[in-house]
Amino acid sequence: MANRSENQGVINKSIPTPLYYQLLEIIKKQIDSGDLKPGDAIPTEKDLMDQYEISRATIRQAILQLVNDGYLRREKSKGTFVTTPPSKFRFIEGLRGFSAEMNRHDIPYVSKILEKAVIPADEKVAKRLAIPHGELIFYTHRLRLVNDRPFLLDRHYVPYKLVPGIETKIADNISLYSTLENDYKLLLHHGWREFEPISSSSKEEIELLGIYSTTHLLYVESLLYDKDDMPIDYFEAKIHGKFTVDVMNTSE
């Protein structure tokens, strides 16, 4: 039998969908629809127990997942509140960079350089870039914020012989890909990207992204080439939020 509350969704105990997940979806729907707005407090655990006739453990599991996913935040002795919904990032048009994509959709963003250096390539990076182990590369580690919220961390590796002096050109809010194209005439032509969900983060990542140790992230690995199949940019990124992949019917 379903337990109903006016305009508050339904918990159906007769279906196999876990109760915590049903509650999670109800709260997410209220947030997505605007019924619950950023800064609003959600009902207390006791209120939710009474409303949906489910256990405190079930409610806590749903709330924890929503906190980990960035929909809610907890404030000690105050309650649980709605946050700004997690940002969505579109991996479209293949080689479009983060800055270009944000500018295209008129989305406020900030790119902060955490580290940049000219360093010898380790074995993994050298193999990806098809260069000798120890050859110099330009390395940059950045934090990207969307709508003032930490969204992703990325690390880029570019053969330094292709970009001499680039360490003096790359700074906060300066597009790496625009610099490659405009200053070094390196045109990205094709490449690959792999995606993998991960559940563990370093202490630094937790602090920079403002997440919990249990928060799931999306790990992205990518290698981009020029038209002659020369590797130009190898990067790794960890994303906190949602992303969208556009698909098209290529048979037409």
Q: What torsion do the CA atoms of 8, 13, 16, 21 make, to the nearest 10 degrees? A: 40
- Give the position of tokens 């700074």: 171
pLDDT recorded at residue 226: 92
Q: What is the CATH number of domain 88-244?
A: 3.40.1410.10
Instruction: Report residue 12 as tokens.
Output: 């159906």
Q: Could you give the CA distance from residue 213 to residue 43 in angstroms, rounded to a whole number?
A: 25
Nearest to 128 by CA among 219, 198, 193: 193
**Which pTM was predicted?**
0.66
DSSP 215: -
Q: Could you give the CA distance from residue 28 to residue 45 in angstroms, rounded to a whole number?
A: 16
10-residue averages of pLDDT along the chain (252 residues): 52 91 91 86 92 93 83 83 66 55 67 96 97 98 87 95 97 93 93 86 87 83 93 93 57 48
pLDDT recorded at residue 8: 66
Q: What is the CATH number of domain 2-82?
A: 1.10.10.10
Instruction: Report residue 237 as tokens.
Output: 């990124």
User: Rounded to whole angstroms, what are the CA distances from 222 to 91, 192, 217, 238?
Assistant: 12, 6, 16, 12
Handedness of CA 144, 148, 149, 150 (dihedral sign): positive
Would you kindly state where each structural domain of the chain is located, as residue ranges? Answer: 2-82, 88-244
